[in-house]
Amino acid sequence: MKKIISVIVATYNGELFIKDQLESILNQVVSVDEIIVIDDCSHDNTLNIISEYCANNNITVYHNERNLGVVKSINKGLSLSSGDYVFLADQDDIWHKDKVKIQLEQMYFMEKQHTEDIPLLSVHDASVVASKNRIISDSLWKYSGYHPRYSSLASTFIWNTFTGCCILMNRALVNSILPIPVIPIYHDQWIGLVAHNYGYVGTVDQSLMSFVRHGANSTEVFMKKTLYGRLKDFISHTFYNDPMKNLFLTIELFESRYKYRDYQQSKLVSKLYNLKKFPVLLRKIGLGYLKYRHSNVFNSSGE
């Protein structure tokens, strides 16, 4: 029996990019069976452009009656999908022609190892591209400094090594993640957490799409800051703001919905959560100690 391949595309005012993205999805070596577009109240020409492709392709467009945001739109798309395998796509990226083929091959291999009833996730690398196709980096993983191959459940609570538009999920994983919470973390980070806890993660060390960034990238902006500005940010984040607040909220939400599969990982997550009782500065020191003490778990760069 043929397996169904779905793609979820969340759009909002993407008239400048959506044509290239749709064509890159439709021109895959291995065709997809359904493309579900969730439009979040676009008021430009996005919907008119998409409509040009709907007649001869398996594209279904759903219009949000009010602006829901990215996560709720993705939840809606995933709930409406019928695929055994589901891709997430941004409106402004460009897929390489063999993206679907290569990720499906990895998914088939993982299913032979673990069965299709186990939540499985495939994630690939991408080239980072600015406007006018200027290449910033040939590897998103090198550019960000994080590699999902070396991530774990505990490390994924701390930082996100998963990029949604590079992800392929099997149906078991889709059913396990819904509904994805709107806060306090990114939707792809939540997907990574559930995959690590209940299933398995496979990585493709190959760029399978152009990950398009618009405007000045964050590294360039940071480098333009004055010494005073950098010092002010350091003091603020160290003594006043609490960047770990979302970590504790995420752990609470995750534990309210799931049970841990791995005892050692659950112990590490418990140690992370215990940092909540300390002041902000001591939390950072404690987190640094845990990273050092368990470097084999928390080193997501693989170095």
One pLDDT digit (tens) per residue for the chain, 303 residues = 789 999 999 999 999 999 999 999 999 999 999 999 999 999 999 999 999 999 878 999 999 999 999 999 999 999 999 999 999 999 999 999 999 999 999 999 999 999 999 999 999 999 999 876 788 999 999 998 889 998 999 999 988 999 999 999 999 999 999 999 998 889 999 999 999 999 999 999 999 999 988 753 333 333 344 556 555 555 555 544 566 888 999 999 999 999 999 999 999 999 999 999 988 888 888 888 777 666 666 665 554
Contact between 116 and 185 (Cβ < 8 Å): no
CA–CA distance, 110 with 112 (Å, rounded to integer): 5
Burial zone of 83 (CB within 10 Å; 0-12 exposed, 13-18 middle, 19+ buried): buried
Is residue 108 within 8 Å of residue 29, measured between CB atoms? no
b/e string for 219-233 if b means 16 or more Cβ within 10 A? eeeeeeeeeeeeeee
Q: Which domains does the chain have, with CATH numbers?
A: 5-212 (3.90.550.10), 218-298 (no CATH)
